Structures are given as structure tokens and as C-alpha cells.
Amino acid sequence: MQIAGVYPRPMPLGRKQKLALWSALPERTLRGAAEHNSIRGHEAMSREQILSRFAGQRGDTSIRSYSWQLEASELKKIAAALGYDIKGLRRIDDLRLALFDFIDSHGASEKRRRARRERLGPKSMSADALLEIARGMATPVLHLRPEGPGRAVAIWHEPGWEREQDPPELWLSVDLSAHPNSQSSKILELYARPGSGETRVVTRTGRLPRAGVGRTRLFAHQAKDLPTLDVIFLRGPAAIETWLEENEWKRDWGYNGNFPDAEVAREFAEVWRAEHPLCAENAWAQLGGWPMTWPGEDVRDRLDDVLMVRTYRHYEPWLEVFRRGTKYLSRSRIT
């Protein structure tokens, strides 16, 4: 997954690296990638012609996009061809992330970034100092899991088989009296139809639905939500302002792979990924917390809204509900 402020934005690999990457894939997979990426006339092309076309493309969009279709064995072949370490990695998400990390650290523009970093000279920020600032900005949240003490604060409704004509179905019911940033005693119900991205929110009085077949009780666990680098850049203290000035970077530019002091930022991103439920898979949903930048929506669009809930179970789509004044805004997120 590519979440801005957590993962650097794309920086292209060189032609030789791309050729090695695509050559590691079997014929059937390579042709599937050509179809997926809409390479015109791929049906009549030889394997060598398809490889040449992929190697000559600008950017790394094709492999980043098609990596979600690859099997673990194919991601391992790519790692062997490019020579990066995947020792101990078994989950397909971790193998895919290792590929993204290699692209981000070995792309052609990475050389330009390092040169600029040397030109700008020493910096005042260390990875430890950045993490300390982030922990100071961390906000109290509740992680929802199917086990825990006390009363249930939400009900997860297992989605059924979706047909195109079906209306959005109920995914999550939340008792807002448990929310760390809500004074409401109502029940919030989130509906979604993932195939279309359609979502809606209803609030009502009463109690949570009873648990049963397809309905799982969720219990609250207190936690702290670390902000992403985009949020830290925008809302961080004076030390962040100084660090950005040293890097000739503006607060509202957000973090991307061209940021000169990327080594420090990447160390923080590793901690964020290890702790956040989006990547750590240690919660079904979350009440409260910081917004994130998603494809098509900047984090600044949500900084002044209250995050009511974000779902993590079943990966994409991730569903979010924000409160703006008295209105609730729901979104379906994919990467």
C-alpha cells in the first residue's frame, strides 16, 4: 500500500533494474502484467518485446500497481533478481513492502536526493528526536478487537456476497458514548458497498445490535495514535520547522522520497508501520486518531475534522467516518 507521509512517493528505477525485475517473472505473469497495464498490441508481442516495453517506461507505476496481483513466490523471484534481502519475510504484504522499499531507495532520483543532502550539510534532527516529537503529538484512541475487558463498544457486521444492484450493507455499529472525542450517546452505523465505493452513515438512539451469526462484538483497548510524517510536517513544533528549513522544504509540501533527509524520515516510517494497525494488523477498527493522506485526498483536507472511526479488518477498502461540526462524512479508501 502507498500511504503518503508513511511511504515515499514513486522514484523510478533504472532501465537495467526494470529489465531484471520483469525478466524474473514467468511468461503467463508477464503477459498478465502487460494486459493489466494496457500495453497496446501486447497480444502479438514476443516476451522480449514486452520486457523492452516495460524497461523503457517512465516511472515505476506498472510494477507498483501489478505487485498486488503477484504471488509470494513471484515477489521472491523479483527479490532474488534485484538482490535485496527478504530473509525472514513470509507474509505477502511484507514481501510487497520490501519491493516498494527497494524501489524507493534505489531509484534514479535517489542519487539526486543524496547529492542534495550532501550539499545542504549537517541537520539538527535525528531519528530518535523525530520519534520523540511524534510520540508527543500522539493522540489517545481506542483499538477495537473481538476480545477484551468490559462491555462491547461496537458490533462488526461481516459483509455478505455483494451484487452490483445491492444497496450498501451494514459494516459496523459503534456506541459513540465510548468514543474518546465524542459527547454523543447515540449509535453510529456505517454502511458500505465496496465495489462502488459507496458509503453512508446513520446515527440512531438505542443499543448496539446483539451479537450472533455474522455479527461480532468488539471491545475497546486504549492506545496512542502516531501521526504520519505529513501531519508532523504540518503541525509539528518549532524543531520541525527548523529541520524543514535546513532541508529547504516547506511544511505544506508533505513528505516524499525527494526529501533530502529521507534516512531520518524512513527510520520513523519503519516505527510507524510496526505500530499502526493499518500495517500491524492488531485491530479490527479504531475510534479517534489522526487523519492520513490517501490517493485523491490530502491530509490537510481532514486535519480539522474529528476521526470517528477507521476500519482495518479485510484490508481494502478501509472505511473512515469523520465529524465536521454536526455532520458525518464517510469515505471508502483504496490504494
Is the Cα torsion angle 52, 58, 62, 63 positive or negative in sign? positive
- Per-residue confidence at 9, pLDDT binned at 50, 70, 90? very low
Contact (CB, 8 A) for 258 and 113: yes
Residues with Cβ within 8 Å of 296's Cβ and at least 6 positions away in sequence, in order, are: none
pLDDT of residue 297: 84
Taking residues 161-167, report their average pLDDT.
59
Nearest to 99 by CA among 113, 78, 81: 78
Mark out the alpha helices in 12-56 (DSSP H runs): 15-23, 27-36, 47-56
As a dihedral over the C-alpha atoms of residue 287, residue 288, residue 294, residue 299, rounded to 10 degrees, the angle is: 170
Contact (CB, 8 A) for 201 and 188: yes
Taking residues 11-27, report their average pLDDT.
85
pLDDT of residue 207: 95
pTM of the shown model: 0.69
